[in-house]
Amino acid sequence: MHSLNSLQVKKIFIPTLIFVFSVSIALAANTQGNGESNRGDEQGQQQDADNNEEAGNQGQVVAPAPTGVELVQEQQQVQAQQQNQNQVQVQQQVQNPEGTIGMQVQQQTRARNTEQLQTMIQEKNQEMNQELKSFDNEDKQKIYQNQNKVRAAVHTLLSAEDLIGGIGPKVSEIAQQFNNSVEKTIKAEEKIQNRNSITRFFFGGDKDAAGEIKQEANQNQERIQELKQLRDNCDCQQEVEEVISQQIQNIEQEQNRLQQLAQEQINKKGLFGWLFGWL
């Protein structure tokens, strides 16, 4: 067997080397192409995700973070709501420019202890005394001076709601009923006082106003009895119970006066009343 000479070896080796080198270059190029393709796909997916997120954000409004001023306002609103939980509404009678009696709603804070309750009673009495001084008509002053007993009692009962245990809400409800009643009786009593002398001479007393006063006084007597029963079941301090008893007594005295006033008006017949009564 003949050995290969150097010329034949070169003819075989050089083409083989070229082939291997070409294959290596081709493989390297293919690998690089696949890597760039993968990176391109990843970038494309990320771009699609970004586009989808942007499109979704365009469909909804993103609420801005609250500022420091807004946070302070929110805290003030929360505090105001908490304070309102310890308040009740009470109606106070006031005189409007036309001279008639209307009802004004204001916020009344409940007393936390007996000392504060006594202070609130004194302040209410001072307020009503100032109101009396503002009236030029003596008859009107007398009407309010008498009926202020009920108005003061209403204020006291509402203020004491947190001091009288479980009966508090019911007592406040009755107090509101007294408050509505005193508005009606004040108007009716003013109507009696404003009745001119000629009408009184011929027709006597104001029977309609007297009937309304009598009706309210009778209903208030029923409320007084209910209030007394609640007081007897009061789970409260003796001092508070005494305050409630005093207010009940004041209301009761005023109802007795109103009943007497109504009866006097009914008994006043006037000239026509006497004539037709005699005939």
Most confident of 30-34, 200-204, 264-268: 264-268
pLDDT of residue 78: 52
Structure tokens at 73: 């306002």
Angle at 197 between CA 194 and CA 201, to 5 degrees: 130
pLDDT (tens digit, 9 = 90+) per residue, 52-63? 555 444 444 444
**Average model confidence (pLDDT) for the chain?**
75
From 70-84, 174-188, 233-247, the region with the lowest mean pLDDT: 70-84
Judged against a pLDDT cut of 60, whether residue 13 lies above it is answered with no
Burial string for 63-90 (b: 16+ CB within 10 Å, else e) reads: eeeeeeeeeeeeeeeeeeeeeeeeebeb
Judged against a pLDDT cut of 60, whether residue 206 lies above it is answered with yes
Which residues have C-beta within 8 Å of that of residue 259, sequence separation ≥ 6? 213, 214, 217, 218
pLDDT of residue 17: 53
Q: In which band, very low, low, confident or very high, does the pLDDT at 94 lie, cut at 50, 70 and 90? A: very low
Q: In 3-state terms, what secondary structure has residue 194? A: coil
Q: In which band, very low, low, confident or very high, does the pLDDT at 271 lie, cut at 50, 70 and 90? A: confident
pLDDT (tens digit, 9 = 90+) per residue, 129-140? 999 999 988 989
Asked if residue 168 lies in contact with residue 161, where contact means CB atoms within 8 angstroms, the answer is: yes
Q: What percent of the chain has pLDDT over 90?
A: 48
From 90-104, 106-120, 188-202, 225-239, the region with the lowest mean pLDDT: 90-104
